[in-house]
Structure 1
Amino acid sequence: MEIDARVEAWASLQLLPGLSPRILAGLLKALGGPEEVRGASRANLAKLVPTELASVIESGPDPALLERTLSWIAEPGHALITWDDADYPRALLTISDPPPAFYYRGRRELLNRPSIAIVGSRNATPQGMDNAEAFAATLSGAGFTIVSGLALGIDTAAHRGGLSAGGSSIAVIGTGPDRSYPSANSGLGRRLAADGGLLSEFPLGTPPLPANFPRRNRLLSGLSRGVLVVEATLASGSLITARFAAEQGREVFAIPGSIHSPFSKGSHRLIKEGAKLVETARDVIEELGGAAPTEGAQMEVAAPEMQADAGRVFKALGHDPAGVDALTARTGLAAGAVSVALVELELSGRVTALPGGAFQRVR
């Protein structure tokens, strides 16, 4: 991005401590623009803001941090997107506290496309991961950009699904734009920067502080027409995103799960509170509008035929987790035969082992 006086003024204002969006909006209205705010005297500023803040604005940000920030913005594919920028997301302008500016890497045209946020547990089940990726791929194919937070688990699956189709994906991160967090997703972050987008409102060098993530969640929902919760415990940060979505007038969707799974408790609570229960991506598309998914987008690869014992065990497993003892009782097979059948089912990708010796269907 080319650095001019306007960009430099915005970058300076973005780095000033204590300058809230509300106060900055008042200054811009009174003085005319970012350059005028940065060039105003302390005496004139003190007529509009507290004296201490007027001194901060007149002094400007740390010069070394400003220099690093401008160097980052000047790199190819990098940008500082501001309130007065044509690419600033119109959806964010409808929330109560949109950031005056944010750092961005990637495809700027994605910022104003129809989007949906997909969020959920970091410690997701294999079934949850599959659901998130499949929903994201279908929704992306229907024209929605998939927004998520680049965390492990559901976020990772959602980004992968989004990148696999035309809608692509944007990650809203809780660190500075120069940080890669979590490190396990650094490769995914590079893919998003090249083919999707990475967005941060935090200054360069900002570490992954716990308080950053609830704050960034308002942008996940704010960018989107709706929020889909795939898996969530009752303590999940996904419920914060869902709450922001409701407050911002966005739709909230939730995929139900087993009544025995802690990863379904959060989704079930949202459904009780009025979230829309969804079973397929088409449910979301019909609610929000979008191109109908193609048949190919919803097709599954045929699994190999099961042996007789494996078929009995698979049928007995149902859709709730169960252990070897329970399956032995349900099928009448010997425990050894059940164990062999479970190995076959795992190898074919139909079931997965859970902590504590239980098994759960994946398909």
Structure 2
Amino acid sequence: MCSQSLFAWLALSFTPKMGAKALSRLMSIDSAPNLIKRDSPSLQAIGLTTEQIRYLHGEAQRQAELSLTWAEQDSHTILTSFDPIYPPLLKEIASAPPVLFVKGEVGCLSEPQLAMIGSRNASLQGLQIAKEYASAFTKHGLVVTSGLALGVDGHAHDGALRAGGKTIAVLGSGLEQIYPARHRKLASRVVENGALVSEFRPDTKPRPEHFPRRNRIISGLSVGVLVVEAAEKSGSLITARYAAEQGRDVFAIPGSIHSPTSRGGNLLIKNGACLVQSEQDVLDEIDTLVNWSIDNRASSQPDLFNDKFEQPRENGKEFNHNEELPFPQLLANVGIEATPVDILASRTNIPVHEVMMQLLELELSGHVVAVSGGYIRKGRG
């Protein structure tokens, strides 16, 4: 996206009550650069309020200019949902942020991630588990994603970094307003071996209503969410709910029925979350999706990896990528995010019983795999 278009897109996205759906509607009317040049009557005619128009013509453009200046610094990146490097998993969620501010290695946002979340007041055992599990996951090739909060979040980030892995911290504030302040050094370490991410302008101060919003990004970036310890009413359960709605696997570590910080995790298990007793419990569940992500990313750059990766094989023979795929209509509607059978039937106008039979054949032939929430497509598909 050119600087003029990015400037206009930022100005529109900064306008109050301008969500992704409203932005999409406006973009169907005119281009972003043309929209911000329209006069007040014209903008009012397409649905903007007087308050929005005043902000768009004034403060929004000033903030857009400041954001572009911020992005000129080393390791600073602004991503829009139109960018080819916008994280693909996040792009598929219903409320994907139209703009992401990134400080650090932007490429790791598209790598397979596991979210680790939990209580700010976790037990010593919970904190130790967070650190140990994060270390194990990074050694398995996963990026650990969390929210930089005190407690479980901070220990998960630290565990990943100490193991030499990568970690992503999603903030409920701007990237120049690190919260909590005592995690500024941790944030600097994250930038060196991962990335800080926010949908808020760099100078935005933390506000209570920002944190539930950032939770959907934590789960949206990840293939699964692990709740280490959580109270019955906590932000971690909000993230777990987002994860379930987004078709992600939800995992929880059980705890004592007498511990307030274990009630949330126990409740999730009671309601169907995967019970976790070791790191391997998580890895076994998400391996298929992680491998799909890695295969899909590698296949997009075959020339770079020919000397490192063998061709996929089937029954000992090289897989023929020109081979006609079975049930192409159904397969075209199965993607990286879990899709339920009834949705597939609706999209393809194929009866549910026929969809189930086709899915069974596709699963047996290795083109799709059943996961929590439906089916996903494997790399060879």
TM-score under structure 2 normalisation?
0.71
Q: Can you give the 5+ residue segments of structure 2 that lack an aligned partner in the other structure?
A: 292-381
Cα displacement (A) at 1:151:
0.4
SS state at 2:70 partner: helix
- 1:124-273 equivalence runs, <5 A: 124-165=122-163, 167-273=165-271
Match for residue 319 of structure 1?
Answer: none
Cα displacement (A) at 1:3:
7.8
Take 1:46 and 1:57, find their aligned partners in 2: how far apart are those partners?
A: 13
Residues 153-177 of structure 1, C-alpha deviations (whole Å, 9 max, x = no match): 1000111122234651110101112
Cα displacement (A) at 1:251:
0.7
Match for residue 350 of structure 2?
Answer: none
Whichever residue aligns with residue 7 of structure 2, its letter is E
SS state at 2:191 partner: helix
SS state at 1:117 partner: strand
SS state at 2:156 partner: helix
Take 1:24 and 1:55, find their aligned partners in 2: how far apart are those partners?
A: 14
Match for residue 273 of structure 2?
Answer: 275
The answer as to 2:109 corresponding to 1:111 is: yes
SS state at 1:46 partner: helix
Residues 299-328 of structure 1, C-alpha deviations (whole Å, 9 max, x = no match): xxxxxxxxxxxxxxxxxxxxxxxxxxxxxx
Take 2:163 and 2:12, find their aligned partners in 1: how far apart are those partners?
A: 37
Take 2:162 and 2:28, find their aligned partners in 1: how far apart are those partners?
A: 43
Take 2:207 and 2:48, find their aligned partners in 1: how far apart are those partners?
A: 28
State whether residues 11 and 61 of structure 2, in contact with CA within 8 Å, keep that contact through their aligned partners in structure 1: no
Whichever residue aligns with residue 153 of structure 1, its letter is G
The answer as to 2:5 corresponding to 1:6 is: yes
Structure 1 pair 229/103, CA: closer, same or farther in 2 (3 Å)? same
Cα displacement (A) at 1:38:
2.4
Match for residue 288 of structure 1?
Answer: 286
Residues 182-238 of structure 1, C-alpha deviations (whole Å, 9 max, x = no match): 111100001111221111111233222111111111111111111100011112211
Take 1:46 and 1:282, find their aligned partners in 2: how far apart are those partners?
A: 56
Match for residue 347 of structure 1?
Answer: none
Structure 1 pair 233/30, CA: closer, same or farther in 2 (3 Å)? same
Structure 1 pair 57/183, CA: closer, same or farther in 2 (3 Å)? closer
Cα displacement (A) at 1:92:
1.4
Whichever residue aligns with residue 30 of structure 1, its letter is I
Aligned length: 289
Match for residue 361 of structure 1?
Answer: none
Take 1:244 and 1:209, find their aligned partners in 2: how far apart are those partners?
A: 20
State whether residues 226 and 251 of structure 1, in contact with CA within 8 Å, keep that contact through their aligned partners in structure 2: yes
Take 1:13 and 1:63, find their aligned partners in 2: how far apart are those partners?
A: 8
The answer as to 2:34 corresponding to 1:28 is: no
Match for residue 72 of structure 1?
Answer: 70
Cα displacement (A) at 1:133:
1.1
SS state at 1:180 partner: coil
RMSD across aligned C-alpha pairs, in angstroms?
2.0
Structure 1 pair 15/54, CA: closer, same or farther in 2 (3 Å)? closer
Which structure's CA Rg is the greater one? 1
Cα displacement (A) at 1:44:
4.0
Whichever residue aligns with residue 172 of structure 2, its letter is G
SS state at 2:88 partner: coil
Extract structure 1 runs of 4+ deviating beyond 4 A: none
Percent identical residues: 42
Cα displacement (A) at 1:179:
0.4
Take 2:2 and 2:83, find their aligned partners in 1: how far apart are those partners?
A: 14
Take 2:51 and 2:98, find their aligned partners in 1: how far apart are those partners?
A: 17
Match for residue 334 of structure 2?
Answer: none
Take 1:50 and 1:84, find their aligned partners in 2: how far apart are those partners?
A: 23
- 1:32-43 equivalence runs, <5 A: 32=31, 34-43=32-41
SS state at 1:87 partner: coil
Residues 268-310 of structure 1, C-alpha deviations (whole Å, 9 max, x = no match): 000000000011111111101158xxxxxxxxxxxxxxxxxxx
Residues 43-63 of structure 1, C-alpha deviations (whole Å, 9 max, x = no match): 443343235366247514355
State whether residues 252 and 275 of structure 2, in contact with CA within 8 Å, keep that contact through their aligned partners in structure 1: yes
The answer as to 2:53 corresponding to 1:55 is: yes
Take 1:29 and 1:163, find their aligned partners in 2: how far apart are those partners?
A: 43
Residues 96-145 of structure 1, C-alpha deviations (whole Å, 9 max, x = no match): 11111021101011111111110001011111111111111111111211
